[in-house]
Amino acid sequence: MRVGVDVGGTFTDLVALAEDGTIEVRKVVTTPDDPAVGLFQAVDGLRGPIELLIHGTTVATNALLERHGARVVLVATAGFEDLLWLRRQDRAALYDLARDHPPPLVARADVVGVAERMGPGGTLVPLVDAEVERVVAAVRALDPGAVAVALLFAFRHAAHEQRLAAALRAALHAIPVVASHEVLPVFREYERTSTVTVEAYLRPRVGAYLARTAAEAGRREIPELRIMTSSGGSLAPAAAAVRAASLALSGPAGGVVGARLVGEAVGSPDLLTLDMGGTSADASLIVGGAPLADGVGAVAGVPLTLPSLLIETVSAGGGSIAWMDDGGALKVGPESAGAVPGPACYGRGGVRPTVTDACLVLGWLDAEQPLAADVRLDLVAAEAAVATLGRVGRRDRRGVAAGIVEVATAAMARALKRVSMARGLDPRRMVLLPFGGAGPLFGCALADVLGMKRVVIPPHSGALSALGLAAAAEQVELMASFHRTFSGLAREDVTAAFEPLCARAQVELPGAVVTREAACRFVGQGYELTIPVADPEPYRLEEAFLHAHLARYGHAGGGQPMELVNLRVVARRPAPPPHFRSQVPGVRAPVGRRPVTVRGERVTADVWPGDELATGVAIDGPAILAGADATALLEPGWRGRVHATGAVLVKRR
């Protein structure tokens, strides 16, 4: 079996893909103190040998959110010690003068300046032996947990960084030393410095977790363990341990991979996806059957510029807590009940109202159906929690619950707009694919907000991230700076620049399929667009860039000169895709009816077993599709038809 395990904020999901095509799903409660405990609780329940275990982890994300990383000493070029505090001179919130950016991961007293200077053409101030010795002594005196080295122009001329990193490693032995040219060898010194600081901050904690997890897998005689990265590929634990920052979106990336597979199976290559879990909702975009990548962003307010899938996260998960602000407005999140104590309806000590409690009060969830092996829902506790908010306006208890889901829906809709409309893409021409434990409950409402007419409820929607992990490819990404205008650039120049990256990629991942990409822009532009490089002929690259720029931004530059900025090579060893079910007997009629509240109105919904639907069956809303790992809601005015894969294709009537 190929097994994927996604550790979420509330539940840990497992999907096992057997050789005969069958798919087994398991769900256990996450163990926040040590996520590996919940991981192996799920794994130990499987019968049969495991060939490969792919893990999506939140260890890196949580370390950034909770600020529980290593004490980092930053080594920077003298005169640039304040770079992380100067940032980009942008505001955290444009109209909120009281709001500030999160502080850097390193203390100002833990920055060591180095008397050296590289310029674009090479050495301006040489790095002498005495200065290397002084810097090593200064760093050792600060007793760091990790060291980050980020010098000016190291992306082009790495000699000074290499000397310092070698001297620090020799002196500090077991303490990780990370150099910026090893992590992000491209220009923009602020983003490069921030990213290498994140890598140093995370590496000790992530490395220890991965070593522990690999040892546990070895004790269970699991032949191979791999870790999901933010870019949608997987790495061996040893490789992932020295790419800790690339795991910041490890779990959500698995969901995007799973969504792409479902979209391919049902013939929908253009998707807006929404993964609604216990603590957050993650929006992403798939265009032409390929997830949109975005290498510029931030995690927990910390800039992190590494290859990653485009994922917009909002605090609107099932465990997000509803509350009233000082002005009497109803809010949802960012605080979450998490796995412990969890929503009030879990009966684990939670008393504050959450989105899951509101869904139960509205009748969308069934108290008789467990969410996991040992989690039963308590309607009385959910009603009591919602009642603590009092009457919001003139709303009764159900009205307040409806308000909670309205606020959560609005937050998720904003995230979906940011990944689509803000990038020049019309969501009305796309299909919405909601998944996660709570996502399918909100699919119709979100589609209405965005003007979309089609929704796909995927099979195994509550564990789609784990399914994506189980089917994830092995993948390595390598980057290099190559700042040249297209004028005077020859095919041989581009080919020669890619050669060392391609050779290194084949060494790191033998037998992989290697693809080339180039980040291009108009001269003087402040951002780049990445295009595939099938043909390195410069005029072909210009044509591809102009076409991509026109599609994304609505114009093609008006004859402005263009330049190639960075190179990227991706080496992939694809995995066999999962076999979704073929034509099988199933349920052709609802198994019950129950009252639910939808958009403030009380209606009676048909109840269908979401995992046992016969292919071709038509389902009219209002309807509840109750599955083992997730529940879906078809609102009035929507009709679904069951696809041969088990997905439900839903359309506005």
Q: Which two tokens stand for residue 310?
A: 């485009």
Mean local confidence (pLDDT), 617-646: 94
Amino acid 415: pLDDT? 93
DSSP state of 98: T
Mean local confidence (pLDDT), 355-376: 85
Q: What are phi and psi of 640, to 5 degrees?
A: -115, 155
Asked if the model's pLDDT at residue 395 lies above 90, the reply is no
Amino acid 584: pLDDT? 66
Which one has a higher pLDDT value, 60 or 393?
60
The least confident of 299-303, 306-310, 468-472, 592-596 is 299-303
- Confidence category of residue 373, pLDDT binned at 50, 70, 90: low
Coil/strand/helix, residue 67: coil
DSSP state of 344: G
Asked if the model's pLDDT at residue 422 lies above 90, the reply is no
Asked if the model's pLDDT at residue 307 lies above 90, the reply is no
Measure CA 205 to chain center: 19
CB atoms within 10 A of CB 109: 8
* Angle of helix 491-508 versus helix 538-553 axis, rounded to 10: 80
* DSSP H helical ranges for 45-78: 59-66
Mean local confidence (pLDDT), 373-392: 85
Amino acid 576: pLDDT? 84
Beta 72-77 vs 146-150: how paired, if at all? parallel
**191 vs 371: CA distance, rounded Å:** 42
CB atoms within 10 A of CB 100: 11
User: Cis peptide before 622, with omega less than 30 degrees from 0?
Assistant: yes
**533 vs 227: CA distance, rounded Å:** 28
- Confidence category of residue 210, pLDDT binned at 50, 70, 90: very high
Task: Give pLDDT tens digits for 238-262.
Answer: 999 999 999 998 888 999 999 999 9
Amino acid 374: pLDDT? 67
Task: Give pLDDT tens digits for 142-178.
Answer: 999 999 999 999 999 999 999 999 999 999 999 999 9
User: Cis peptide before 341, with omega less than 30 degrees from 0?
Assistant: yes
Amino acid 251: pLDDT? 82
**Mean pLDDT computed over every residue of the chain:** 92
DSSP state of 193: H
Task: Give pLDDT tens digits for 27-85.
Answer: 888 888 888 999 999 999 888 889 999 999 988 988 888 889 999 999 999 999 999 99
Asked if the model's pLDDT at residue 480 lies above 70, the reply is yes
Q: 225 pairs with which residues across the strands?
A: 53
Amino acid 88: pLDDT? 86
pTM value is 0.89
Amino acid 34: pLDDT? 87
Q: Which two tokens stand for residue 369?
A: 């159906």
Element at 486 (helix H, strand E):
none
Q: What are phi and psi of 160, to 5 degrees?
A: -65, -45
Task: Give pLDDT tens digits for 108-153.
Answer: 999 999 999 999 999 999 999 999 999 999 999 999 999 999 999 9
**309 vs 295: CA distance, rounded Å:** 8
- Confidence category of residue 393, pLDDT binned at 50, 70, 90: low
Amino acid 583: pLDDT? 55
Whole-number Cα distances in Å, 570 to 105, 108, 537, 574: 29, 36, 19, 12
Amino acid 242: pLDDT? 95
The CATH number given to 474-573 is 3.30.1490
Amino acid 98: pLDDT? 86
The residue ranges of every structural domain in the chain are 66-205, 320-407, 474-573
Q: How far apart are the first and last CA of the chain?
A: 41
Coil/strand/helix, residue 182: helix
Mean local confidence (pLDDT), 362-376: 81
Q: 607 pairs with which residues across the strands?
A: 592, 624
Residues 6+ apart with CB under 8 A from 153: 118, 119, 120
- Confidence category of residue 614, pLDDT binned at 50, 70, 90: very high
Sign of CA dihedral 120, 124, 128, 133: negative
Which one has a higher pLDDT value, 452 or 395?
452
Mean local confidence (pLDDT), 355-383: 87
User: What amino acid is encoded at 416 in this protein?
Assistant: L
Best CATH choice for the domain 66-205 from the list 3.30.70, 1.10.3470, 3.30.519, 3.40.50: 3.40.50
Mean local confidence (pLDDT), 201-230: 95
User: What amino acid is encoded at 192 in this protein?
Assistant: R
